[in-house]
Amino acid sequence: MSDTAFHEMADGRRIAFRLFRGTSPALVFLPGYMSDMAGSKAGALLEWARGAGRACVLLDYSGCGESAGQGTGGDFADGTLTRWREEVLELIDAQVRGPVVLVGSSMGGWLMLLVGEALGERLAGMIGVAAAPDFSDWGFDEAQKAELRAGHTVLEDNPYGPEPTPTHAKFWQDAETLRLLERPIAIDCPVRLLHGQADADVPWEVSLRTAAALRSADVQVVLVKDGDHRLSRAQDIALLLHAVDTLPT
């Protein structure tokens, strides 16, 4: 794993990242909600990039992983899709030359689409792993949405750790303004969407809806019948790396 460096934003936020300098297009991995660049998919992507000589960037959003507590705005409760999109775009501008392939996991798949639209012609391709656009809508019941509208934090059982998963009102209210699936998504590059049909967190049908909304004609959805939300088994990682290796750019 490359050494961690920090990119400082104008307001003092320090965004942790790891970079391998190689050939274009550069791979940029966007982790999921409350996740970070220490995960198995991010690590496997960086190691593959090193072997292939491809440029690769991993990062932790403000309030997450190694970015948490760095400078101002290091609290996870301050995080929003708008804020994290700003961080990703600024880091790409500062560290990457030329075209970019975005790889987004879960919430990172939603952020991937938002960043992709902003990148315009620099976007060479996208790969989603259990991408979760619009989960502020389909991921909460009406009682939870009422709590979030009222400014309260919603806590849910966390299958991946002992502490409950919080959704802060600030994050949810911002996310509701950035929903994508009810309009054409103005992205024309090749896109691959990988999704487990045993995913208990993000229905696999969301990837089909995403494929339908994308303007690109080169979109493929790969369903893994026994795959869970993380898609982090050895065969799942191999599937991801195959998608990266064979993506036309």
Catalytic positions: 106, 199, 229
Phi-psi region of 43 (alpha: psi -120 to 50; beta: other; left: phi over 0): alpha
Neighbour-count burial of 115, counting CB atoms closer than 10 A to its CB (0-12 exposed, 13-18 middle, 19+ buried):
buried
* Cα radius of gyration rounded to whole Å, the chain: 17
Q: Determine contact, residues 37/60, Cβ cutoff 8 Å.
A: yes
d(CA 225, CA 212): 21
Cis check for the bond before 203: say yes or no (omega within 30 of 0). no
- Residues 138/124, Cβ–Cβ less than 8 Å: no
Nearest-angstrom CA–CA distance, 245 and 232: 18
- In this structure, what token pair is assigned to residue 133? 């656009």
